[in-house]
């Protein structure tokens, strides 16, 4: 059973917000594609796991663990009474060869060695177990959910550490057997993990405000050319209509990831949306969708939701003014 939701990674949300408001540099575009591709691989993995079933195990998805004062990210952690397995999900495509421990795509050397990443992640879990003086198995696999990926290696031991798409179903099936249980030991491991979860400490974007286009944009086609109605904005390019509140939720979510950990005030948000809506509408939305922190004469707002998608799921914005996309 999945313990937590899988959400889009912070970096992907940053690049989505950035690309909506400015032209990305080549390097930014490359990173955007990498994060998007990685996330799509994780969704493929979840879907395949769902299709096989995972009632007999506990699965943490995309968590950051602080173990002995260093933070490591895990794509998927599978817990049962037998122990814990880290799955590093790699949405690789095409031909990959491992020679002398180095990864190559054609003759191009891939900088990150996936095996050393996995070894480090598994090593940190062992540290966690040892410092708790506990006794359970710790293991790890690289999982490649994309069926266009092929792998060649001169070292047979590599194959023990990886699961290709053709073997994923069998791999997941082994967790869906009557002998696999989540009794006291699994609950203990789960508690160790949940006590170690921290926020993503690596995310610290330094967005240059001056390169951003301010304003509200269409959720369907991205155009900033919108016509104002009383409660709605209609796109002049694709005629999609979204209510003011939807636009404000999108703007607040963009603001969160572009200026992470920087305080959001009403004036910041007004500037960010280029005064496209009346300041009273902004105040109402801020009070409804943010935590309010009054600091002397300054009031700072923190978005209540993880991101725009989460906000749409949790808020009642659709109930009153329906969007038409
Ligand atoms: Zn549009």
Chunked mean pLDDT (size 10), the chain, 325 residues: 94 98 97 96 97 96 96 97 96 88 81 85 97 96 94 84 95 93 95 96 94 96 94 94 94 97 93 93 94 91 95 72 57
CA of 207 to the centre of ligand 1 (A): 25
Look at residue 314 in the predicted model and tell me its pLDDT. 86
Angle of CA points 242, 243, 248, to nearest 5°: 100
The CB density around residue 285, as the number of other CB atoms within 10 Å, is: 23
Query: In the CATH hierarchy, which top-level class contains the domain 209-318?
Result: mainly alpha
The pLDDT assigned to 274 comes to: 95
Q: How far is CA 324 from the centre of its chain?
A: 27
- Centre of ligand 1 to C-alpha 236, Å, is 7
134: CA distance to ligand 1 center in Å?
56
What is the reported pLDDT for 101?
79
Whole-number Å distance, alpha carbon 284 to ligand 1 midpoint, is 25
- Report how far ligand 1's centroid is from the alpha carbon of 323 (Å): 12
SS3 content of the chain, % helix, strand, coil (to 5): 40, 25, 35
Burial (CB count within 10 angstroms: exposed 0-12, middle 13-18, buried 19+), residue 202: exposed
Quote the ligand 1 centre to 222 CA distance (angstroms): 6
Ligand 1 center from residue 304 Cα (angstroms): 27
Q: Determine the pLDDT at residue 325.
A: 54
Token pair listed for 154? 């001169």
Bridge partners of residue 250, in order along the sequence: none
Ligand 1 centre to CA of 237 (Å) is 5
The DSSP secondary-structure symbol of 312 reads H
Give the start-to-end residue ranges of the domains of the chain.
10-198, 209-318
SS3 label, residue 158: helix
Domains 10-198 and 209-318 share a fold: no
For residue 238, report the distance from its CA to the centre of ligand 1, in Å.
Answer: 4
Q: For residue 250, how far is its CA from the centre of ligand 1 (angstroms)?
A: 14
Distance 180 CA to ligand 1 centre (A): 50
pTM: 0.91
Distance 10 CA to ligand 1 centre (A): 25
Q: How far apart are CA 321 and CA 240, in angstroms?
A: 14
Measure 95 CA to ligand 1 centroid, in angstroms.
Answer: 39
The pLDDT, as a whole number, for residue 320 is 52
> CATH 3.30.70: does it fit domain 10-198?
no
With beta carbons less than 8 A apart as the criterion, state whether 69 and 205 touch. no
pLDDT in the model for residue 25: 97
Check residue 109 and give its pLDDT: 82
From the CA of 247, how far away is ligand 1's center (Å)? 12
């Amino acid at each position: 059973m999945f313990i937590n939701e899988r959400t889009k990674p912070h970096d992907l949300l940053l690049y989505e917000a950035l690309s909506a408001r400015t032209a990305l540099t080549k390097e930014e575009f490359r990173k955007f594609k990498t994060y998007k591709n990685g996330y799509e691989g994780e969704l493929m993995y979840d879907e395949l796991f769902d299709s096989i079933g995972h009632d007999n195990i506990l699965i943490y998805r995309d968590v950051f663990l602080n173990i002995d004062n260093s933070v490591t990210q895990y794509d998927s952690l599978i817990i049962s009474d037998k122990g814990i397995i880290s799955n590093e999900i790699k949405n690789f495509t095409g031909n990959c060869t491992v020679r002398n421990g180095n990864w190559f795509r054609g003759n191009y050397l891939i900088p990150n060695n996936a095996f050393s990443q996995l070894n480090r992640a598994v090593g940190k879990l062992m540290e966690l177990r040892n410092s708790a003086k506990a006794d359970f198995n710790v293991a790890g696999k690289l999982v490649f959910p994309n069926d266009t990926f092929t792998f060649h290696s001169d070292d047979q031991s590599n194959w023990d550490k990886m699961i290709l798409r053709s073997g994923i179903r069998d791999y997941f099936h082994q967790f869906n057997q009557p002998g696999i249980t989540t009794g006291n030991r699994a609950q203990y491991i789960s508690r160790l993990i949940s006590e170690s979860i921290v926020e993503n400490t690596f995310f610290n974007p330094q967005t240059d405000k001056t390169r951003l286009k301010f304003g509200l944009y269409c959720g369907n086609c991205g155009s900033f050319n919108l016509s104002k109605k009383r409660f709605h904005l209609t796109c002049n390019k694709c005629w999609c209509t979204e209510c003011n509140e939807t636009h404000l939720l999108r703007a607040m979510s963009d603001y969160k990831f572009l200026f992470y950990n920087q305080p959001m005030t009403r004036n910041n948000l007004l500037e960010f949306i280029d005064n496209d809506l009346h300041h009273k509408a902004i105040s109402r939305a801020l009070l409804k969708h943010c935590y309010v922190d009054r600091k002397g004469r300054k009031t700072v707002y923190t978005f209540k939701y993880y991101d725009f998608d989460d906000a749409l799921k949790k808020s009642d914005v659709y109930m009153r003014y329906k969007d038409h996309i």
